[in-house]
Structure 1
């Protein structure tokens, strides 16, 4: 179920291809043991224009959107697992952040359209 959105500074694409960032996020989610691989939805968005503290510093920010119902401890562990996997890519001079966001079940809608 989780929607994992990897936002990153475009300059990183030369150092680490976007699919490697997605793979790291996937591993973190699976290591949390909260989700099945078939439930993961992953996507990456590169930012051409960005600033951190007034400078163009490289960054990766991951938003993991999950349906409500997990404990705060589970959400914190998920965040740490994803962050750990990102750090294994061994990129220097980068800001890595992970945010777990709960979606309200009452306001979340889904429909899969086939054909």
Structure 2
């Protein structure tokens, strides 16, 4: 845990490789001291078609899905660390946002299937 999901306008790939953005998000998660490196899962989704306020404006939105139980202060700190990490790329004319989502610890199910 957590699941870090980066959604972004595909036009940003010309300025920053998605792998660099994921690396920055991962570093922010580690810096928060909430998660261990081995538990962080990252993925990204580019959007070819997008509109913001009726215009094709660039955007990045990060959703952090984590098991419930973190304090509001921990979540706030993490969202600010991620936002700071994304601003290091000196992008302009882009909307950056971060959203924290709790996953119910009692109902979350997971199974890792390994090859033998």
Provide the TM-score with structure 1 as the length reference. 0.98
Partners of 1:90 and 1:36 in 2: CA distance = 28
Report the CA distance between 1:106 and its aligned residue. Answer: 1.7
Provide the residue aligned with 2:40 in structure 1. Answer: 40
Provide the residue aligned with 2:95 in structure 1. Answer: 95
Report the CA distance between 1:107 and its aligned residue. Answer: 1.9
Gaps of 5+ in 1: none
| Residue 31 (structure 2) pairs with residue 31 (structure 1) | yes
Q: Deviation per CA, 1:79-113: give whole Å up to 9, x if none.
A: 00110100011111100000011000122110000
Runs of 4+, deviation exceeding 2 Å:
none
User: What is the correspondence of 1:56-75 to structure 2 with a 5 Å cutoff?
Assistant: 56-75=56-75
Provide the TM-score with structure 2 as the length reference. 0.97
Report the CA distance between 1:30 and its aligned residue. Answer: 0.9
Q: Would you say how many aligned residue pairs link Structure 1 and Structure 2?
A: 115
